[in-house]
Structure 1
Amino acid sequence: MRAALIERTFEVAAGRIEDLTPLVYARLFAEQPQMEALFCLDANHQVRGEMLSQVIRSILDFVGERQYAATLIQTEVMTHAGYDVPPAVFGTFFGVVAATLREVLGQDWSPEIDAAWRELLVELDYYVTHPDQSETARAALS
């Protein structure tokens, strides 16, 4: 049920706007202004688009088969730390995506969708705040 709700938000948004990228990054830079400087060389916004695409694919994998999303999130937390992006800031991106979708969906953002996204964001945050894959692998086994 949750996966279908999350997937539906992306489908509805895709039917309403051609590209989420400018909306997502406008919100990100409003919430985390220090991040905009990291994109100074991304004049054509291709890096932003690719990053958002990867995040969307990861979210869909996370609510679906979970073949790679958790590990990718953990890896990207560590990679982004090398770009001076603290995990707390990295973790806000998922919420920015959700808030942008909520805005695009408007009245179609139901309480059920809201609950699904809130639950998802809590789960995603676990992997952002626990980037040690050996630690999370042990936790998954217990």
Structure 2
Amino acid sequence: MLYSYIVEKNIRQTFDDMNNHRWAEAVKAAAPNIHHRVAGAHALAGERRGKEALRLWLERAGRVLPNLRIKVNNIWITGWPWHTTAFAEWDATATLLNGGPYINRGLHVFTLRWGRLYALEEFQDSQEAARGLSAQAASGLQEAAAKPIES
């Protein structure tokens, strides 16, 4: 289906934008009232509503894990253009400031309507995220220990 191909291409492009710190491009397809949620108790956890809050979160992610690389392994798409759900399975890696590795796996769940992103929920190893951010904070990157951006 052509629509599924376009959605998959756009999702892969968004992950590429994130890997290359192109925040404005990464939020381009987000609806003004997007709902974004990440489980856990760390600086990248929490729940946000709104395109601007999502952009701020992405910018923080880029600052606290500056060399983070997310490799998309699989994308599944279901539904019709007026209500689409897409799943993206990924592996994330980074080198922490202390020289140690950060390795996480996860799944993004996208809810789209006519190609516009209305909800994004991230499922990942929240303990690994907290461990990596704690190591960053211990190395002097204080924002890695900040309260989550929530709105």
Normalised to the residue count of structure 2, the TM-score between the two structures is: 0.27
The structure carrying a bigger strand percent of its residues is 2
Using CA pairs below 8 Å that are at least 6 residues apart, which structure has the higher relative contact order? 1
The structure carrying a bigger helix percent of its residues is 1
